[in-house]
C-alpha cells in the first residue's frame, strides 16, 4: 500500500547507510529535507530528528502538501510549538501520528479493549513504574497511562527529583499524581523503580491487568465467587494475547495509510503527543509551586521541557560513534 521513495539526512554517512539498508539510489537521498519535499512530493513522511528541529520540519512538511506525518516523541519542546503544528495540521487536514508506540502494542490494545467493553468494570487506578526523563521517555509512560485509563487528565500534583532541576527547563525525572475526567486516578513513578522496570498496573472494580518486566509478562485478575463471607475475591485468569504480534512500526504505517484513506485520526495523534507534553510540564509546575495542584490545560503556552535527546545533538549518536572508531 506504500513505497519508500526517498530520505533526507544532512550527514552523508548516515544517508548512505539509510540508502543501503532500504535499497535506495544515492539520488534518492537528500542533504536538505526541504529539497526532498519539493522534489519528491511524498504522501507522508517520518520525522526522526531530535525535538529541537522536529516542530519546524513538521510545519514545512505540512506546507509542502504531505497527507500524513509520523513524528518521533516527544512531539515538541514547547506547548506553543505543539499548538502551532496541530492548528496547521488540522487546517490542512494532515494526519499526525506520534511514536508513543505502546498504543500500537497488542498487550495495550487488548487491555484497552477490555476497558472499553467493561470487562474491568469502572476504572479506578492506573499506576506506571517507569524510570525516565518526563518529556523524553516520559512521553511513553504518560501516554500509555492516558490510553489505558481511557480518559483525559484534569489536574496533577508533581514531585521532581530536585528543586534545582525543577527550576530549569532541562528534562528531569519525577513522580506524579493525576486526576482523570472519568474518575480514575493515576500515579507515575518516574524516579528509579528498582525491581519494577517499566511496569503498568490497571485496576477496575471488576478486574485488574498488569504488564510486568518491560512488557515481558501480562497478568489478568477478575472477581470470582468465594472468599471471606462469600464477598468474592480476585483470581488469576489467562490474559487474551493474540497468536501473532505484529511490528509496532508497521502498525503505525498501516494506521497512517488508513487515516489518509478514511480521514480519521491516528491511534496516537498529535493531540495525544501534546497532552503527554502538557502533563509532564504540569507535573514540573506543581513542584515549582510547592507541590500545589495544577489544573489543565495550562494557560502559559511558552512553557517547555528541553528533552534529554537534544543534548549533544549537533552530531547524531551514530556519527559520534563512527568518529570515535
Instruction: Read off the pLDDT of residues 123-163 as tens digits, 9 standing for 90 and up.
Output: 999 999 999 999 999 999 999 999 999 999 999 999 999 99
Query: What does the pLDDT read at residue 324?
Result: 82
Residue 52 has pLDDT above 80, yes or no: yes
Query: What does the pLDDT read at residue 101?
Result: 92
What is residue 218's three-state secondary structure? strand
215: left (phi over 0), alpha (psi -120 to 50) or beta: left
pLDDT band at 222 (very low <50, low <70, confident <90, very high): very high
Query: What does the pLDDT read at residue 8?
Result: 98
**Domains delineated in the chain:** 7-100+248-269 (3.40.50.720), 102-244+276-295 (3.30.360.10)
Q: Lowest-pLDDT range, 105-119, 180-194, 216-230?
A: 216-230
* Closest C-alpha to 98, from 47, 53, 132, 60: 47
What is residue 116's three-state secondary structure? helix
Residue 228 has pLDDT above 80, yes or no: no
* Closest C-alpha to 199, from 263, 148, 244, 238: 148
Given 3-state DSSP classes, what are the helix, strand and coil percentages for the chain, each rounded to the nearest 5?
40, 25, 40
Instruction: Quote the longest CA-to-CA distance of the chain.
Output: 75
Burial of 135 (0-12, 13-18, 19+ CB in 10 A): buried
Rounded to an integer, the average pLDDT of 178-202 is 98
Q: Lowest-pLDDT range, 80-94, 112-126, 238-252, 255-269?
A: 238-252
Element (H, E) at 56: helix 51-63
Query: What does the pLDDT read at residue 123?
Result: 99
Per-residue pLDDT of 18-46, as tens digits, reads: 999 999 999 999 999 999 999 999 999 99
d(CA 252, CA 272): 14
Amino acid at each position: 500500500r506504500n513505497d519508500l521513495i526517498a530520505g533526507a539526512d544532512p550527514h552523508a554517512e548516515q544517508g548512505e547507510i539509510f540508502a543501503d539498508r532500504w535499497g535506495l539510489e544515492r539520488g534518492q537521498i537528500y542533504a536538505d529535507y526541504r529539497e526532498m519535499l519539493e522534489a519528491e512530493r511524498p504522501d507522508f513522511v517520518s520525522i526522526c530528528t531530535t525535538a529541537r528541529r522536529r516542530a519546524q520540519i513538521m510545519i514545512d512538511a505540512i506546507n509542502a502538501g504531505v497527507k500524513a506525518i509520523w513524528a518521533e516523541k516527544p512531539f515538541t519542546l514547547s506547548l506553543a510549538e505543539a499548538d502551532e503544528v496541530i492548528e496547521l495540521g488540522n487546517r490542512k487536514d494532515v494526519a499526525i501520528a506520534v511514536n508513543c508506540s505502546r498504543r500500537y502494542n497488542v498487550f495495550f490494545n487488548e487491555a484497552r479493549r477490555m476497558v472499553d467493553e467493561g470487562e474491568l468494570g469502572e476504572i479506578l487506578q492506573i499506576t506506571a513504574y517507569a524510570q525516565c526523563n518526563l518529556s523524553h521517555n516520559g512521553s511513553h509512560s504518560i501516554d500509555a497511562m492516558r490510553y489505558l485509563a481511557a480518559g483525559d487528565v484534569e489536574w496533577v500534583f508533581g514531585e521532581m527529583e530536585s528543586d534545582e532541576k525543577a527550576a530549569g527547563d532541562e528534562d528531569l525525572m519525577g513522580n506524579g499524581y493525576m486526576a482523570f475526567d472519568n474518575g480514575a486516578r493515576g500515579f507515575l513513578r518516574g524516579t528509579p523503580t528498582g525491581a519494577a522496570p517499566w511496569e503498568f498496573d490497571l485496576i477496575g472494580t471488576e478486574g485488574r491487568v498488569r504488564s510486568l518486566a518491560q512488557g515481558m509478562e501480562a497478568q489478568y485478575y477478575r472477581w470470582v465467587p468465594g472468599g471471606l463471607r462469600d464477598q468474592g475475591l480476585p483470581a488469576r485468569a489467562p490474559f487474551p494475547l493474540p497468536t501473532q504480534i505484529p511490528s509496532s512500526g508497521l502498525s503505525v504505517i498501516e494506521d497512517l495509510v488508513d487515516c489518509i484513506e478514511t480521514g480519521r485520526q491516528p491511534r496516537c495523534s498529535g493531540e495525544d503527543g501534546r497532552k503527554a507534553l502538557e502533563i509532564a510540564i504540569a507535573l514540573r509546575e506543581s513542584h515549582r509551586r510547592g507541590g500545589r495542584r495544577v489544573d489543565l490545560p495550562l494557560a502559559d503556552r511558552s512553557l517547555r521541557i528541553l528533552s534529554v535527546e537534544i543534548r549533544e545533538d549537533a552530531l547524531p549518536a551514530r556519527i559520534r560513534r563512527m568518529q570515535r572508531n
